[in-house]
Amino acid sequence: MNDKHLEALLLCPTGQDAKLIASVLQHDSVNSKLTKDLDELCQMDYENAGVIIVAEEALTKEGVDILNEKLSTQNPWSDIPIILLTSGGARSKQFKMKRLEVFVTSGNVTLLERPLQPLTLLSATQVALRSRRRQFQVRSLLESQIEATKIRDEFISIASHELKTPLTSLKLQTQMTRRQIVRPEALLPDKMRKQLDYTIHQIDRLNKLVDDMLDISRINTGKLNITKTVFNFSELLYELIERFTPQFEAVGIQVKSDIAPHVFGNWDSYKLEQVINNLFSNAIRYSPHKNVTIGLRTQGDKAVFNVQDEGMGIAPKNLERIFERFERVSSVTSGLGLGLYITRQILDLHDATIRAESELGHGSNFIIELPL
């Protein structure tokens, strides 16, 4: 909240007072809203109110009660400053005696005796605006805390669910194996191998989830570091394609590749392996039974690596969102929504970029540009 948006709500100042107030507010670039009616003042929106300036004569006994009522409904962070312009004389004395105590104790009220002194008004207004700005700062801190807590709670619920799924099937798998041990005739090597492959797959899945969570905490604490060495990206890609082949085949993906042979660079090979892993895993999850094309080439002073699938695709409005933390935009997703966020963070550390091009229902292309 900056001063341009702060406004002063004025109740009934007239004549010289009104002129002086206007010039003080102008000095602070604060807009004002004037009313002659206390009810109207109470109905105003205090969302952007920086200070309320009230001429004492506009406050009837009922008026004080109404205003107090309104002030008592403020949010916990809000204590809107009020400057009350009083005057000497019998009426003012009476006012002070009877109602001031109630009014002052219920609000953040400063009394200014008239005739107003420019400097006194200026300093009272500035103190009021300063305290109001602080209140708005507290509000935005509170709001971001609430948002952070909401995100954390959602994450805990998603993470528990994602961890529970492989754990449940691991347990079932282990129970099945246990039953087979007591019935040796059921111990067929082929069946056992398949079961163990499945078990390893579930353990890998758990490992990836925990690794992602560890990476997120490293990113949050600024401890995600890279160690660069010169290596051949092409070789790393060949190796990973080979390693992933059984998984691609298991979901009926045909892989085509167009990889330039000697793309060397000074990068963190372990972290780039993680990036490739994420893109391959996503192709497996979001593009089964379709072609996936993997490309690597150099272009100027950059290496351009891309993974293109022909799967479900991503809606245009989500193309940037998917790189944010915890964003999962498809209903068939089974992840924490962290892979692409971590991928982008790793690439940032390499001064590299990643972007997605996609057409819903027709596939996606993830393109990475790394400085050579």
The footprint of ligand ADP (CB under 6 A) covers: 278, 282-283, 286-287, 309, 311-314, 322, 327-330, 333, 335-341, 364
Burial of 57 (0-12, 13-18, 19+ CB in 10 A): middle
What amino acid occupies position 214?
A: L
Intra-chain end-to-end CA distance of the chain, in Å = 44
For ligand ADP, the closer of residues 17 and 309 by Cβ is: 309
Angle at 130 (CA atoms; ends 127, 134), nearest 5 degrees: 140
Residue least distant from ligand ADP (Cβ): 335
What is the helix (H) or strand (E) element at residue 86, kind and residue range? strand 81-86
Query: Per-residue b/e over 349-362, b at no fewer than 16 CB within 10 Å?
Result: ebebebebebeeee
Q: How far is the CB of 358 from ligand ADP (least distance, A)?
A: 7
For ligand ADP, the closer of residues 327 and 357 by Cβ is: 327
3-class SS letters over 194-246:
HHHHHHHHHHHHHHHHHHHHHHHHHHHCCCCCCCCEEEEHHHHHHHHHHHHHH
Give the separation between CA 361 and CA 372, rounded to whole angstroms: 34
Do residues 135 and 78 touch, judged by C-beta distance below 8 A? yes
For ligand ADP, the closer of residues 50 and 311 by Cβ is: 311
Q: How far is the CB of 62 from ligand ADP (least distance, A)?
A: 59
What amino acid occupies position 266?
A: N
Q: How far is the CB of 145 from ligand ADP (least distance, A)?
A: 25
Do residues 282 and 312 touch, judged by C-beta distance below 8 A? no
Q: How far is the CB of 312 from ligand ADP (least distance, A)?
A: 5
For ligand ADP, the closer of residues 304 and 356 by Cβ is: 356
Do residues 341 and 333 touch, judged by C-beta distance below 8 A? no
For ligand ADP, the closer of residues 80 and 272 by Cβ is: 272
For ligand ADP, the closer of residues 186 and 329 by Cβ is: 329
Q: How far is the CB of 317 from ligand ADP (least distance, A)?
A: 12
Q: How far is the CB of 235 from ligand ADP (least distance, A)?
A: 24
Q: How far is the CB of 316 from ligand ADP (least distance, A)?
A: 13
The DSSP result for 276-306, as a single string, is HHHHHHHHHHHSTTSEEEEEEEEETTEEEEE
Q: How far is the CB of 173 from ligand ADP (least distance, A)?
A: 23
Q: How far is the CB of 332 from ligand ADP (least distance, A)?
A: 8
For ligand ADP, the closer of residues 47 and 359 by Cβ is: 359
For ligand ADP, the closer of residues 135 and 308 by Cβ is: 308
Do residues 11 and 70 touch, judged by C-beta distance below 8 A? no
Give the separation between CA 366 and CA 355, rounded to whole angstroms: 6
For ligand ADP, the closer of residues 84 and 253 by Cβ is: 253
Give the separation between CA 52 and CA 125, rounded to whole angstroms: 10
Q: What are the residues facing 369 on neighbouring strands? A: 304, 353
